[in-house]
Structure 1
C-alpha cells in the first residue's frame, strides 16, 4: 500500500500509463485549445522536477509555497515535492500584500513557486521577511534551483509525513494553517471508495471516471477531495481555469465529465441561466457538494438530469457525510448519515447527546484506537486551538444540525451564524434561504447586532435585484414577505441596501468583511429600522 501521494501516483502510472490524468478544457488563458495529459506524460514532468528539488537540497521539514493558480503546474509541483518529502503551501492568488506576508511568515516557507505575474508581489514579501524564502517562476524554472535556507529534517517518509498546509478562512482572527499529512490525502481518496461501497448513489468506475471541479486548488475540496479519488483509481481530474456559469455546460460536456464537484453557489448560478440544449448534452452520473439552496435542489435535478448529493465536510476532517441513500430527502439540507468507520453524533452545549429532532452541535471521530486518523494533524503553531477542537475525544465542527429517528443528519447553520433573540435561537441560513427567494433580492447576508431589549436582533444586508429601487418600500416588502414565511421574530429588525458584498475565493459571501471590526452597522447612514414591523400574529 502506498505511503505517500507520490507513491500512489507512481502505482497508477504503472497500472494505467496511457489513461488521462489531467484535462484542461479549451478556452483557458494558457491553453486555448485545451490539453490532456496521461499518467505517463505527467510522470515524465514530475520525475525530473523531483530530482531537481532533491539536488537543490529540498526534503523533509521544508515547506514550499505554490502560487500557480488552477493550472496543471500545481499538480506537477505537488507530486514532485511530495516525492522528496517536502510540504506544499497552496496560495490564494487574490491575497493582498498583508495576507501574503502573514501566510509566508506563519508557514515558514523556504521557496515560493509562482506564475510570472505574481513574482513582483512575492518578491516584495520575501524582501520584507529578510529573504526567508526564494522566489522562482513556474514558466521558466531555473535548471539549478536556489538551495533552501535550512537543511532537511531527519526522519522517514511515510503516511504520517506532513504533505501540506491549507489555510482556512475563518470569520474571526487570522486564518489558521491546517497541517495535513500523506495519510490525510490518501484517506480522502480512499473515503470515496468507502462511500461507493456503502450502497448509496456515490460510485466510482476505476480507469474511466472523469471528475470536473472548477473551484480553487488552494482549498481542500478541489486540491484534495477532487484529486485523490481520481489519482487512486487511474481516473482523470478536469481542471477548468475558474468557474464560469456561461461556459459550464460546454466545458462539462466537451471534457466528458462523469462526476461534477462544486459548492452551493454553482448550482444557483446554473439554475439562473436561460434554458438551452447544452444543459442536457452531458455524461454526468452525479454531482456532489455542500450548500445547495433547498429551494432549487429539486429543480436542479429535474432540469439538468443530475442527482445532487448534498455533503458535509470541513478541512479539519478530510472525510465527508453524504445524502446519497435512496429515498433521498430533497430540498431540506439533509447531509446523510455517517458511514463507518466515521462516527457522528449531535450534542448540546454541555456535551450531552440530544434527542432525535433536537438541534445541537455535530461532532465526529473515527472508530477504533485512533479517533484522529485521517483528520488534519493540527493547527500550525496553535496546539491550544487544536485540542479545543478535539474536546472529549470528538472533533467539534461548530455546525448546528439535527438528526431524525432514522439517523439522517440535517444541516441547520454554523454556530457562529446563530442569532439569540429574546431566548429564541435563529439560524441566519434559514432566514437567508427564505429571503433570497424574494424577487427584489439579488444577494442577502443575515448578521446579528446588539439589541437593548432582545439581546440580539437580525440585521439584513441586501443587494437589490436589477431594476429594483433600494428604498424603504422595498425593505417593508421584504419584511412582509418574511412574515408570511417565518415566525415574526425571524424577520429582519434592521436592513441596509448595498451595491455589492465581499465574497471569498469560493464565491461565498464573506460576512467577516462586510463591515469594519468594531463598527455598529445600525449607525450607518441609510440603515433602516424595521423593528416596529416585528409583531406576533
Structure 2
C-alpha cells in the first residue's frame, strides 16, 4: 500500500501508483448490453489511466486551465469522470460534479454558487445543461465530452500556476443544507487522500490484500462515497474500482460475478431490494469478502449475511469528513445500528443541546474532531462562500455532525436519528427546508411543512403538509390541485425531492413566535401514511431520462 505523506497531492500519488501497479486494473465498467456506453464493458489499467490523464492534462493546460479554476463535470457514472477529475486535480483545477437529476433551477444555483469556469457535459445531457445555464446569472462555456479534444474553449482568465499543494481544493461537493439551499463542501487533496488511506487501514474485516481488491460501487460519482472514499482506497492499495452506471437489483449479482468483485458498497435500500429477490442456489456463488455501507435495517442484517455469505460492515461518514468509523472488529453488534468506535484520528463526544457530555446510553449529538492539537486536520476545508456556517459547525472546537447517537459501555457508537431537518431517501439527503421553500412559490400554497415518513423500500419518503390559500380551497378539484402541485415540484426539484405523500390541512401547529411545530402535526405514535385523506403520489415520482 502507498502511504501518502502530509504534503502529497493527487497527481503525485497517481504517478506513484502507476509506477507500482502499472498492469493492474484501476477502473472497470461491467458489461451491460442495454447501456448506451461500453456495452461490452471496459477496463482501464493503472498505466493506461496515467497515460490518459497526461493527455487530458496537456489539453486543459493548453487551453489555459490550471490552479484556481473550477470545472463542472456532468458525466454521470462514466469512467471518464474519474480520468478528467484526476487530470484536473493534477493541474490544481477543482472538480465540481453535477447531479444529473438536478432540475434547471438547481443546476443554475450550482453554476452561480460554484462560479464554474467550464463544464464538460455528455452529449445526451446537453439539453439539461443548457436548460440550467439559461436560468443562471453566470454563463460559463461548456464542451461536450464527445468533442473534448477538438473543441475545448479557452479559459476565461488563463492560469499561471499548475502545481497544487496538499491544501489545494480538489472537489466541491454539494450537500443538502438545513436552511434550504445546498452547501458546497470544499475538499482538499489532503482530505481525499486521507479518506482513502483511512478506509484501507481500518483492519479487522476491512482487509485489503497485497494483490488488491475489486471494489464494486453502484453509487453515483457526484457523491463522496464513490468518487473519493472507495476510489482513493483503491488507488492507494493497487485495487480496482468497478463502477456501474447505477444500482439495478436484476443486474447486481451478475455484474459482481462477471467483474470478480471482492468488496461491495451498499445502502440500506440496496440490502432491502436484494433480500426480496427469490432465493437462488447462486446466492453464494460470488467472491465478495465484505460489504461497506450504511443504513441496513437491523432485522435484515444477520439474515442477509447468513443468506449471501459475507459481512455487511456498517459505517458512519459524511461529506465534511469521510474518514469513516466502521464496525469491523469482531465481535460485531449485528441488528443494533452500531457503526464502530472512535479511533486515532477521529475523537468523539456525545453532547446535549447545551454542549455538555451525556452519560453512556443517553442519546446526544455526535461531535467529532481529529485531535485537540489539530481539530480540523483532514476535514473539509469549509463551506464555499459561507465562513459563518463553517464556524458555526465548528463551534467549541468540535464539528457538530447533526446526528444523534448513543455510546454503550464498550465504547460502541449506535446511530439513533438525524438531528438536522434532513430526509434520507434511497441514499439521497433531502433538505426539508428546500422543499418547503419551493412549495411556497406555488400560487395556491399558503404554508408548507415537510417531514420524513418511513418507506418500506427507500428508508424514508417526503411528506408535505400543506395549508392552501382560501381562494384555492374550493377553486379546483383535489385531483387537479395535486397534479398542479406535483408538476410544480417536478419542475423545480430533482425527482427524489418531490413529495411522495401530500396532506392538506386547515392549519399547521406553530409556536408563539410562529415557528412550525412539526412534531405536533400528527401526534406521537401516529403513522401519517394510514390517515384518511392522505394522498400517495409515490407512483408519480420517476427519474427523468437524459434529453437529446
**TMscore range, shorter length:** 0.7 to 0.9
Asked whether the 8 Å contact 1:459–1:492 carries over to 2, the reply is no
- Distance in 1, matches of 2:108 and 2:510, equals 40
Asked whether the 8 Å contact 1:313–1:321 carries over to 2, the reply is yes
Q: TM-score, normalised by structure 2?
A: 0.79
- Distance in 2, matches of 1:82 and 1:443, equals 35
Tell me whether 1:201 sits opposite 2:205 in the alignment: yes
Match of 1:103 in 2: 110
- The match for 2:16 among 3, 11, 14 is 11
User: What's the offset of the Cα at 1:452?
Assistant: 8.1
Q: How many residues align?
A: 460
Asked whether the 8 Å contact 1:132–1:149 carries over to 2, the reply is no
Seen in structure 2, the aligned counterparts of structure 1 residues 156 and 49 have a Cα distance that, compared at 3 Å, is closer
User: What's the offset of the Cα at 1:491?
Assistant: 3.4
Match of 2:434 in 1: none
Seen in structure 2, the aligned counterparts of structure 1 residues 373 and 418 have a Cα distance that, compared at 3 Å, is closer
Instruction: Trace 1:285-300 onto structure 2 (pairs within 5 A).
Output: 285-300=289-304
Seen in structure 2, the aligned counterparts of structure 1 residues 8 and 501 have a Cα distance that, compared at 3 Å, is farther
- The match for 2:119 among 107, 112, 122 is 112
- Distance in 1, matches of 2:143 and 2:422, equals 45
User: What's the offset of the Cα at 1:141?
Assistant: 1.2
Tell me whether 1:82 sits opposite 2:89 in the alignment: yes
Match of 1:192 in 2: 199
- Distance in 1, matches of 2:384 and 2:542, equals 22
Instruction: Trace 1:253-272 onto structure 2 (pairs within 5 A).
Output: 253-272=257-276
- 3-state secondary structure, aligned to 2:321: coil
Asked whether the 8 Å contact 2:64–2:157 carries over to 1, the reply is no
Match of 1:32 in 2: 39
Further displaced range: 409-418 or 359-368: 409-418
- 3-state secondary structure, aligned to 1:374: coil
Compute the RMSD of aligned alpha carbons. Answer: 2.7
Tell me whether 1:369 sits opposite 2:373 in the alignment: yes
- 3-state secondary structure, aligned to 1:334: coil
User: What's the offset of the Cα at 1:31?
Assistant: 1.2
User: What's the offset of the Cα at 1:193?
Assistant: 3.0
Match of 1:21 in 2: 26
User: What's the offset of the Cα at 1:444?
Assistant: 5.8
- Distance in 1, matches of 2:128 and 2:171, equals 22
Seen in structure 2, the aligned counterparts of structure 1 residues 294 and 14 have a Cα distance that, compared at 3 Å, is same
User: What's the offset of the Cα at 1:142?
Assistant: 3.4
Match of 2:154 in 1: 147
Match of 1:491 in 2: 526
Seen in structure 2, the aligned counterparts of structure 1 residues 299 and 171 have a Cα distance that, compared at 3 Å, is farther
User: What's the offset of the Cα at 1:127?
Assistant: 5.1
- Distance in 1, matches of 2:142 and 2:227, equals 22
- 3-state secondary structure, aligned to 1:345: strand
- Distance in 2, matches of 1:100 and 1:42, equals 30
- Distance in 1, matches of 2:129 and 2:122, equals 10
Q: Deviations over 1:377-421 (max 9, x none)?
A: 0000111111110011111000111111111011000013699xx
- 3-state secondary structure, aligned to 2:150: coil
Whose relative contact order is higher, 1 or 2, with alpha carbons under 8 Å and at least 6 apart? 2
Further displaced range: 495-504 or 14-23: 495-504
**Unpaired segments of 5 or more residues in structure 2?**
424-450, 466-507, 544-548
- 3-state secondary structure, aligned to 2:166: coil
Seen in structure 2, the aligned counterparts of structure 1 residues 417 and 86 have a Cα distance that, compared at 3 Å, is closer
Q: TM-score, normalised by structure 1?
A: 0.80
Match of 1:133 in 2: 140
- 3-state secondary structure, aligned to 2:17: helix
